Amino acid sequence: MKIEIDMGLTAASGAVPGPAMLDLEELLATRLLVQGNSGSGKSHLLRRLLEQSAPHVQQVVIDPEGDFVGLADRFGHVVVDGDRSVAELETIAARVRQHRISAVLTLETLDAEMQMRAAALFLNGLFDADRDHWFPALVIVDEAQLFAPAVSGDVSEEARKLSLGAMTNLMCRGRKRGLAGVIATQRLAKLAKNVAAEATNFLMGRTFLDIDMARAADLLGLERRQAEVFRELQRGHFVALGPALSRRPLPIRVGAVKTAPRGGTPKLTPLPGQPSAEARDLILAPVPLGPARATAAERRAAAPSAPSMHQILEEIVRNRPAGPAPEEVPALPAEERERSLRAIARETMADPDSFFRPEPVLFGDFQVRCRIGRVGTVAPAEVKLYLNAARAGLDPDRAAGAEWDRALAVARAIPDDMQAIYLIMAGAALAGAPCPSDHEVARRCGMHSAGRARSRIRHLDKGDLVVTRSDMSGNRVAAVPEFGWETAPGDPNAPATAPAEAARAVTPDLFGPSERTAAE
């Protein structure tokens, strides 16, 4: 049985407008690519497609901006928040396929990298469903260039590969599993070619860059001189081609929709009629007193840049008194060298202000101390590991044990931006101390944003490196399942430890016990 849905009207010049029909069954077999600059009507087109096909086929929407959550009120879609653990996203995706329930995965609360990871996990959950649940479903991915970028950007390479692999599976291998990809992008040049190449149906909207117009013309089989048509398209007008739409390029105008996005296009509104005197008093009213701010003169006086590692070493060599050539220092035994490096890291991070010093300065300080202690130079990756271990704040005796060595072995395989947080949580769990708050984790990692620390803790949780839970009092407990360690309950919103207390928690002396340690 052939099922067609109405996408609007044909808009060919000189012809009587007629209905623009889309063959839904053919779309399930051949996939669809939508392209158009911001404001060209892509989201409106996707909304029309979703509304018209909702009674006939299951739908799954990957929504990075929360534009399609309104479908739940009128068409019964289940809204799934992407801020969930790995197991939750994969299980929910499997249930969506099993019960044939339309769903919208909203990712608006996540940053770009977490959006890519959450979308990849959900798509892989749909793709890996049991064969008995391979029912036909439309999978709509808005802003697909975010999830299948042509080149690496600000996100980690691991997240990019995970997301790109999931999108490639959807477009290349999803048809046999009943998944029909519908992807929309602002620019074809930003979208990975192996993802875009699998679409057989195209709806090309307004675009202005020559490279995008030429690529769109190539996909539609138009001559290069005809590519100018894409620059002249109005909002909501597209050129359609494909077995589910038209065998020849066909201009269409997308019809009206029943639901609306939460944001919408900004509309001009009249400015408030405010007399100039009142407006001046309103803007220049006395500002409430708050923390002292730097004066203009102080702001103009830029602080000197921190010296680099090479500058520090050059200064030491330049000021060193002339003397006989030093005798060659024998290499330290492996165990003694390891103890010295850990002590040097604790000394480097002893000052609470060290947590916020730039990495090159910390590296230079560490290497200078290594030379003074006759340890030799250390590879940058190892320096990073020792400094991150010192951020955990463990006492020297516990840090010298075999259990902490196991945690360091795991940390070596963790990305640099997650390594410090893992060691902070693992150190608290090993010591049985209260779970560090988001503010405390941010302080130890040299960040000023507790929200950023909270996001990275959730990322560790989703990777099952550290598992967090809340007790009846709302306190957080963190466990390291690989070793069976667990922290005591701690308030996740508690303020960071005072600098004086933090300084007392670290053993700063490299060459001998401190007075406080001796007194104890």
Q: What is the pLDDT of residues 194-226, one digit of tens each?
A: 888 888 999 998 888 877 788 788 777 777 777
**pLDDT of residue 102 exceeding 70:** yes
**pLDDT band for position 507 (50/70/90)?**
very low
Determine the Cα–Cα distance for residues 290 and 89; give it in Å rounded to an integer: 44
Place of tokens 């809340």: 470
- Mean per-residue pLDDT for 423-449? 90
**pLDDT of residue 41 exceeding 70:** yes
**pLDDT of residue 248 exceeding 50:** yes
Determine the Cα–Cα distance for residues 468 and 133; give it in Å rounded to an integer: 32
Other beta carbons within 10 angstroms of residue 248's beta carbon come to 9
What pTM was computed for the model?
0.55
Determine the Cα–Cα distance for residues 477 and 96; give it in Å rounded to an integer: 31
**pLDDT band for position 497 (50/70/90)?**
confident
Other beta carbons within 10 angstroms of residue 128's beta carbon come to 13
Contact partners, residue 125, CB within 8 Å, separation at least 6:
89, 90, 91, 92, 93, 94
Determine the Cα–Cα distance for residues 152 and 52; give it in Å rounded to an integer: 36
**pLDDT of residue 292 exceeding 90:** no
**pLDDT of residue 304 exceeding 80:** no
User: What is the secondary structure of 486-498 as a DSSP string?
Assistant: EPBPB-TTPPPPP
Task: Say what the pLDDT of residue 501 is.
Answer: 46
**pLDDT of residue 100 exceeding 80:** yes
Task: Say what the pLDDT of residue 311 is.
Answer: 66
For every residue of 198-212, which 3-state class applies, written as one string?
CCCEEEECCCCCHHH
Other beta carbons within 10 angstroms of residue 480's beta carbon come to 23
Domains of the chain listed by start with CATH number: 4-254 (3.40.50.300), 334-510 (no CATH)
- DSSP label at residue 350: -
Sign of the CA dihedral 465, 505, 475, 489?
A: positive
Strand pairing of 467-470 and 476-480?
antiparallel
**pLDDT of residue 147 exceeding 90:** yes
From 240-249, 371-380, 465-474, the region with the lowest mean pLDDT: 371-380
- Mean per-residue pLDDT for 283-307? 59
Average pLDDT, the chain: 82
User: Burial level of 111, CB count in 10 A (0-12/13-18/19+)?
Assistant: middle
**pLDDT of residue 329 exceeding 80:** no
